[in-house]
A and B are shown apart, each in its own frame.
Chain A
């Protein structure tokens, strides 16, 4: 599972292809500016323009209108939809749920996954390491829909595995309708999501750890430095780039949550599991309140684009060298 095919080496240092460099080659079209070369981009650019960027611009316009469901006419209302957002308790609840999602995912899918990757990579047998990484990744390969339905059944009060398990170990008093009550529903969904996603980040951390030169650990070993200090003085600093990326990707993902909530609770009970995505869907497609849905979409856009810009800035910084 190590990276077996790396890209071919970069172009030769100036000395190597000497047989060509002496040749006059002004006529080569591959060296000239080629406006026709834009044709290579044309399909991608046209599709992105029509189905990604244009709807995005339209969304801003929609967010300042109110639609009449019966006549289909739009009316410009300025920022009214946004001021409605500010006083909408379900919107606030959704935002908090997205934040809770981000927080717990950071604990399990960044911190937890890093620790797990270290434990895996410190096993001696390569076959064992590969098997462990693959097993933990399995839930990430199946869809969130299947995982969500599966956990819907696991949490189900009558036939669900969880309550039966609690009864089997004499903790039957703790058995409850996990997704059916406000106090536990959101946590239930988030924990399903951790189950589904931790193997993915563990795999990525394992790849980052494999890139750390073994000699560093051997030297630490000789100096009598224990595994805990090795973790903090070698592993953590040298996988910093990956950790940073995982933090960003995880937070961004937490604000785009939709699938698992829709499958497991559709935002209920009593809107306690609404997140921005499902609240948008509910307003746009159950209530046909398109303007309001577009305003929620704008909020998601602002959050994710800000995180995206942080990520761009982060990856452009100098990489950790060793």
Chain B
């Protein structure tokens, strides 16, 4: 009886391990393939897609960089940084107003801001193009900055508000009795207390802005303002069959977020697990 149970336990372990390792290979191998292909020559790639590159030359990366990727990276960095700052500040203000100030019709305003969570970006696409054209912002960096901020305010406010609500109200009252203004209370006391959730929201926004595609594709139209995801697809269409250069470009797009993720995993997990209940 005991040996039978033992037997099944061993079978179970072997099975579980095969499953976990097999899945890890399915995840890692395509990514490794992508990185290695960035070092191959085109003929190597077509001769045998599984072979290792003959020599590790950075030429494809240099070519990708010179064929537009440097512009895409610049735009992506700029849009990511500015929209992160704008989104997190505007959302933190809104979260403070919603959670710690007695405002009139607070339920309505909460619904107004958080209700934006339910709206898919595609739904407003046609009117937004008309609007941006009318404002003269179509095909500029500003269109992306505004849209990345507007469509992420609900989610970011949701996360920060949920955290602020749990801070004791005695903090605000004590600060007030010590003569602090509302602004000072927010800036010097409440905001620093929210650092963990702020880090999570910054990371999630960076991930979003760096990877966003639909707005980037619709609102930028060549002429050097496309961010990386759109740039990659035009790299692909412009350079026909020089695939190793495309692989190098993909690696350039993927590596920064991977580094960021591994450097700050626990904040990611926190933000993601809080955010799923949006």
Interface residues of A (CB under 8 A from B): 1, 3-5, 7-12, 17, 20, 25, 28-35, 37-41, 43-45, 47-48, 50-56, 58-59, 62, 116, 119-120, 122-123, 132, 134-139, 141-146, 149-151, 153-154, 158-161, 164, 195, 199-200, 203-204, 207-208, 227, 242, 245-246, 249, 255-256, 258-259, 262-263, 276-277, 280-281, 284-285, 290, 293-294, 297-298, 300-301, 304-305, 308-309, 315
Inter-subunit contact A200/B34 (CB<8 Å)? no
Closest to A143 in B: B211
Which of B52-60, B62-70, B148-156 makes up part of the contact surface?
B148-156
User: Once bound together, how far apart are the Cα atoms of A173 and B149, in whole Å?
Assistant: 50
Inter-subunit contact A263/B233 (CB<8 Å)? yes
- Contacting B122 at CB < 8 Å: which of A28, A30, A256? A256
Cβ-based interface call for B202 (8 A): no
User: Once bound together, how far apart are the Cα atoms of A143 and B214, in whole Å?
Assistant: 12
Inter-subunit contact B122/A44 (CB<8 Å)? no
Question: Binary interface profile of B, 117-138, with partner A (CB < 8 Å = 1, else 0)?
Answer: 1111111111111110000000
Contacts of A116 in B (CB 8 A): 23
User: Once bound together, how far apart are the Cα atoms of A199 and B24, in whole Å?
Assistant: 10
User: Once bound together, how far apart are the Cα atoms of A90 and B80, in whole Å?
Assistant: 36
Contacts of A136 in B (CB 8 A): 23-24, 27
Contacts of B131 in A (CB 8 A): 51, 54-55, 58
27 A-B pairs with CB atoms under 8 Å apart are A1-B265, A7-B166, A29-B182, A34-B102, A34-B103, A40-B94, A44-B93, A47-B153, A51-B147, A52-B119, A55-B127, A56-B123, A56-B124, A62-B126, A120-B20, A134-B265, A136-B27, A141-B258, A143-B253, A199-B27, A200-B272, A263-B233, A280-B122, A290-B126, A297-B122, A301-B119, A304-B119
Give the A-B pair count, Cβ closer than 8 A: 306
Contacts of A37 in B (CB 8 A): 97, 101-103, 182
Contacts of A160 in B (CB 8 A): 49
Contacts of A262 in B (CB 8 A): 213-214, 217
User: Once bound together, how far apart are the Cα atoms of A53 and B113, in whole Å?
Assistant: 10
- Contacting A1 at CB < 8 Å: which of B113, B147, B269, B277? B269
Contacts of A32 in B (CB 8 A): 102
Interface residues of B (CB under 8 A from A): 12, 16, 19-20, 23-24, 26-28, 30-31, 33-34, 37, 45-46, 49-50, 90-91, 93-94, 96-98, 100-104, 109, 112-113, 116-131, 146-147, 149-151, 153-154, 157, 163, 166-170, 172-174, 176-177, 182, 193, 196-197, 207, 210-211, 213-214, 217-218, 228-230, 232-233, 236, 243, 246-247, 250, 253-254, 257-258, 260-262, 265-266, 269-270, 272-273, 276-277
Contacts of A293 in B (CB 8 A): 125-126
Inter-subunit contact B163/A7 (CB<8 Å)? yes
Inter-subunit contact B254/A153 (CB<8 Å)? no
Inter-subunit contact B102/A33 (CB<8 Å)? yes
Closest to A37 in B: B101
Contacts A37-B97, A48-B153; A145 near B26 (Cβ below 8 A): no
| Best-buried of A32, A135, A153 by chain B (most CB within 10 Å) | A153
Inter-subunit contact A41/B98 (CB<8 Å)? yes
Contacts of B27 in A (CB 8 A): 135-136, 138-139, 195, 199
Instruction: Report the minimum CB–CB distance from B183 to chain A (whole Å).
Output: 10
Inter-subunit contact B102/A143 (CB<8 Å)? no
Inter-subunit contact B97/A47 (CB<8 Å)? no
User: Once bound together, how far apart are the Cα atoms of A262 and B177, in whole Å?
Assistant: 58
Inter-subunit contact A38/B254 (CB<8 Å)? no
Instruction: Report the minimum CB–CB distance from B262 to chain A (whole Å).
Output: 7
Inter-subunit contact A43/B102 (CB<8 Å)? no
- Contacting B120 at CB < 8 Å: which of A44, A62, A301? A301
